Chains A and B, each alone.
Chain A
Amino acid sequence: MQAELVDQARRGDREAFAVLAGSAVDRLYGIARLILRDAELAEDATQDALVRAWRDLPALRDVDRFDAWMYRLIVRACADVGRERRRWRTEITVLSTEPSEPDRASDLADRDQLERGLLRLSPAQRAILTLHFHLGLSPGEAAEALAIPVGTAKSRLHYAIEALRAAIEADERLTVGTQRKDRTA
């Protein structure tokens, strides 16, 4: 069914594309939010990715690779939006939900630490982490989505994890005083 819609859309059928876009927009937006950590930038990136998808769809050779191709477009759109707007460095959007029970405070603290660490990474680094850990893509599948060799995808993932580790450690050094205050509050 999707393959037929993709084939129709790449021949200029806007209604077919609208159906494809409608079924993909939430998934793409979720990916963009994870990469950019900013709701407004994620909206822009998702819109850009959908418009690029319409524009470049005739160049998609294999209709069965539409999903992987869309992942590539949303990652590229996030890179472009993140670079052009340069807002991710200054705006912090915490996406985790509020804890409802006191005994989840440590889980929230751990989550917040990861969140702060992720904010220190580049969109490209968050992209490979999102593809691998959120979408569950193997390095091979992520490589296909990003049109890079598998070894490059694995290296990129390795460096992204190491960068996150360094960011968390840096955050721990900077926020020790704040954490002590939180614990005693």
Chain B
Amino acid sequence: MTANHDLERRIADFYATEPVLRAPDRVLGNALTAIESTPQRRVLMQAPWRFRPLNTYAKLAIAAVAIVAVAFTVRTLMPGNNIGGPPTHGPAGTPLSSPTPDATATQVAALELPADDRPLEPARYYVVVPGSDVRVEFAVLETDWRGNGWYLASPRGSLSFWTVANVYANACEESLLPDPPVGPSVDELVAALDAQENTDLQRLDNPSVGRYPSTRIIMELSARLGTACLGENLELWVGPGGQPGRSIDVQEPPGGREDVMWLVDAGGNRVVIGGYYDRTAPEEARSFTDLIDSIQFVLP
């Protein structure tokens, strides 16, 4: 901890003594010249993520093109056509339905999710869940997702992948980690999060993810926070080796977004998939469920 503090102090000192820079005049000049010929993206002020209203024929035409395009992309990228291969079985569990391998099918290799916030092309990507050897493959169908290593983000929210080593007994007290730590099963994790002080857990349903069973939950602030909750966010859990885990902001999240999580038992490997989006917004919700539905696990 001392070494951490020393390095952070050095970093802070470094940035504090950085000279104040003035941008060359050409920067502003070039930008203002460019905007003379740059139109603004016009949106409805009430719903900035939606397009201007269209007449019926235009809507039907666009919908038809979109259906054909999505169907082609989904057929290419989604599992079920043995693209990417059938899931590997772990020693402790089995998928909910047996795969039917097709030796003649073409395998499309998943790309490693970039870690530099770059825009993602529609393709299959994979993440090795931090703190584990479990590989999660998924399809990105929309063009505004950006890759960041263990999570991906879009204007609609973000999706991240976690290994949970232990759960804080009190989300406002980082010093209180139970000993022994939370057990390895999904049910034990759900119970620990449900018992956590200053947060509320809401069970949603039990969808399958990558053909493995999961429990989908929402974690949110308790209606009444304790006096220990003076910070700006509540910590839910820690990863292996004390790596920081997921937290909840005490500020109201923008646009009705929620912390939706899928707790998956992937053949005895517990994987938590953290979503951050507005379930009540159809376009946002569909974007995330499409991604979840495309998941395949590759187990160690």
Contact = CB atoms under 8 A, between A and B. Distances in A.
B275 to A, nearest CB: 10
Contact of B7 (A46, A123, A165): A165
A21 B24 CA distance: 13
A164 B10 CA distance: 11
A164 B23 contact: no
A150 B248 contact: yes
B28 A114 contact: no
Contacts of A43: 23-24, 26-27
Interface residues of B, number: 63
Contacts of B10: 110, 114
Nearest to B36: A14
A64 interface: no
B48 A58 contact: yes
Contacts of B185: none
A166 to B, nearest CB: 11
Nearest to A97: B19
Contacts of A17: 35
A69 B45 CA distance: 17
Given A61-B48, A148-B158, A133 B12 contact: yes
Contacts of A28: 23
Contacts of B26: 43
A89 interface: no
Contacts of A123: 116-117
Given A138-B232, A149-B274, A158 B243 contact: yes
B247 interface: yes
Given A54-B40, A58-B43, A124 B116 contact: yes
A22 B248 CA distance: 36
A75 B116 CA distance: 11
B48 A59 contact: yes
B2 to A, nearest CB: 13
B28 A129 contact: no
Interface string B229-247: 0001101100000011111
A57 B45 CA distance: 11
B138 interface: no
Contacts of B32: 14, 18, 21, 50
A140 B249 contact: yes
Q: Of B10, B27, B249, B276, which is in contact with the most chain A CB atoms at under 10 Å from its CB?
A: B27
Interface of A: 10, 12, 14, 17-18, 21-22, 25-26, 28-30, 33-34, 43, 46-47, 50-51, 54-61, 75-76, 79-80, 82-83, 95-97, 110-111, 114-115, 122-124, 127, 129-130, 133-134, 138-140, 143-144, 146-152, 154-156, 158-159, 161, 164-165, 168
Q: Which 6 A-B pairs have the closest CB atoms?
A: A29-B23, A50-B31, A151-B247, A134-B15, A151-B246, A54-B35
